Amino acid sequence: METLTTEEKAYLLEKIRDIPDFPKPGIIFKDITTLLKDPKAFGYLMNHLEDRYKEMDIDFVAGIDSRGFIFGAALADRLGKGFVPIRKQGKLPYTTIGEKYALEYGFDEIEIHIDAFACDKERPNVLLIDDLIATGGTATAAANLIDKSGANCIEACFILGLDFLRGDRELKKITPVYTVLEVH
């Protein structure tokens, strides 16, 4: 498997803009729109992901609402696989199944269509992808939702990991985790 060089990783990290105090004071938001608009950076990233996953037995790529849609749909196309959106509650038009997860104060829920992973395979293999893993609540709920649907989450992939938050700790109990870039 081709790995990103130190220079390529540095280039990708340089293309992710920090926005201080967004969405609230004390938070440094990692803005990927600056990476997306740079064709060289986006190309490095997508070539790397395609190379990593092209030999894996993947039936579907599932992306978490909303930035996971960008990377997930592009990767699914490159791999010749179907793409499944994992949406926030109430956003899908057909019959859904959902998974609740805890927030700092309260709960939220994500959903997929009940037939999202329907295919000729009894337990299809799904790659879960999102732009960033922070505390891991949404990603863990998404992996649980994939399992609840009768599919198998073979790996969770993130473009950026906020290593200091240890959000992958619970997720690793469910599925392997791969993070392209780490922020310490």
From the first residue on, what is the mean pLDDT of each consecutive set of 10 residues in the chain (184 residues)? 85 97 92 97 96 97 97 98 97 97 88 97 97 95 98 98 91 97 89
- Establish whether 104 is a catalytic residue: yes
**Could you state, in order of their start, the residue ranges of all structural domains in the chain?**
58-183
Q: Which of 2, 7, 55, 104 is labelled catalytic?
A: 104
Record the pTM: 0.96
User: 80-88: long-range contacts (C-beta < 8 A, 24 or more apart)?
Assistant: 82/119, 84/60, 84/112, 84/113, 84/116, 84/117, 84/126, 85/112, 86/62, 86/110, 86/111, 86/112, 86/128, 86/142, 86/145, 87/111, 87/112
* Architecture per CATH, 58-183: 3-Layer(aba) Sandwich (3.40)
Q: Which of 8, 50, 67, 78 is labelled catalytic?
A: 67
* The pLDDT value given to residue 81: 98
- Establish whether 67 is a catalytic residue: yes
* The pLDDT value given to residue 105: 78
